[in-house]
Structure 1
Amino acid sequence: MPRKPKPQTNGHCRIVLTGGPGGGKTTAGDLFRREMGDQVVMVPEAATMMFTGGFPRVSIPDAVHAAQRAIYHVQIHLEEAVMAQHPEQILLCDRGTVDGAAYWPSGPEGFFEDIGSSLERELLRYDAVIFFESAAVGHMSIEGGNPIRNETAEQAIKLDRKLRDLWSQHPKFMLVPHNPSFFKKISFGLAVLDGMVSELGCKERKRKKR
């Protein structure tokens, strides 16, 4: 049986930055980390680490299953490793354990059954979700940025919808919608992120005082 993830119980704050391909989440996270480095730390995207490291990225269903299964377990242990290094900081996770469900060939139910978990259980890992809508939704190019991205605009839109359907079930879900101006979109995203970190940081301090 696959190892089941433990729900977050140690009071360590985690914010997921997610969304369809070409949404700007990685850029926003990196900019925010530079501004607020003493409060937050980035957890890099597990999929990018794996695929740039040589893990096969092909569309054969069994290969997709193997990849998403591996990404899920790397994500869990990557969060744990970063948390151990930075116990006093809020984790900004470039995607989270739920994302794999949108890429699973037979649908989300098959993904959660395979990993021995559920959507509700995985959502419990995170304190908040900030969703950056894909630029493809506004019929804009998603090329550039991440070198391992290979989705077409149509595929990006479908993934964006699947991911939003899943993550929007989190009680603290915030949407950063597409904007023709990338600067305005990122500025709005940074403002949302700043407000979320301030709110969660306040909760963290209250926990420590108890």
Structure 2
Amino acid sequence: MNIKTIKKRIVLTGGPGGGKTTALDLIRREFEGQIATVPEAATMIFSGGIARSTVNSVLKTQQTAIYHLQKHLEDIQRATFPNSIVLCDRGSLDGLAYWPGSNDDYFQTMKTSLEEEFARYDAVIFFETAAKSGESIKSNNPIRNESEQAAVALDDKLQQIWSQHPNFNLVNSAESFIKKVMFGINTVEDVIASYK
């Protein structure tokens, strides 16, 4: 089978408070029937009764679970919707920004590499956290507990990781939310067009 005929994945990521989850829902509605969405694995775990931890050994166990759940959720959507683009709320490399050890330790633990994980995704859409523009990131999401300062630090780590992807698309925090969503829609359109 020609690699061009295999529809892959787009990851929508960025620091806390960037508008990813809301944008993902709007993009899904725009491309009804053409994309399948993957919910954020970490939110599923932490809203399901697992408490966040600051203990390194527990953090590593949690991030390992999130990594594997993320990949399984993506694979479920790929199998369920074989002819759709899979649009992910975060990707398999997001845990690297939360990992309390070295990058090498993360990849050894997950039995993977940066290149293998990048190959899973056709494109990365990165929404910078609103905290980078001095805006509040307070939300109704009880799982989010990061301060604005922590959100900026996580955003920097995530951007350093994902910006190495060959199809990295940065959406600056200063952009209006409507422009962010339109940028996401345009990127999805470009990926869909690349299969035609």
TM-score computed with the length of structure 1 as normaliser = 0.87
Deviation of 1:145 (Å): 4.0
Contact 2:8 2:120 in 1 (8 A): no
The answer to whether residue 26 in structure 2 is matched with residue 31 in structure 1 is yes
Deviation of 1:81 (Å): 0.5
Distance 1:108 1:23 in 2: 24
Match of 2:109 in 1: 114
193-202 or 94-103: which moved more? 193-202
CA distance 1:201–1:112, shift in 2 (3 Å): same
Match of 1:13 in 2: 8
Deviation readout 1:61-81 (Å, 9 max, x if unpaired): 111000000000001110011
Where in structure 2 are there 5+ consecutive unaligned residues? Answer: none
Q: Kindly, what percent of the aligned residue pairs are identical?
A: 48
Distance 1:40 1:189 in 2: 18
Match of 2:176 in 1: 185
Contact 1:13 1:204 in 2 (8 A): no
Contact 1:102 1:108 in 2 (8 A): no
Deviation of 1:202 (Å): 2.1
Distance 1:190 1:197 in 2: 11
TM-score computed with the length of structure 2 as normaliser = 0.93
Distance 1:89 1:127 in 2: 13
Where in structure 1 are there 5+ consecutive unaligned residues? Answer: 1-7, 206-210
Match of 1:56 in 2: 51
Specify the code of the residue in structure 1 equivalent to 2:50. F
The answer to whether residue 166 in structure 2 is matched with residue 175 in structure 1 is no
Distance 1:97 1:113 in 2: 14
Matched residue count: 194
The RMSD of aligned alpha carbons is 1.6
Distance 1:79 1:9 in 2: 19
Q: Which runs of 4+ in 1 moved over 4 A?
A: none
Match of 2:78 in 1: 83
Match of 1:158 in 2: 153
Specify the code of the residue in structure 1 equivalent to 2:106. F
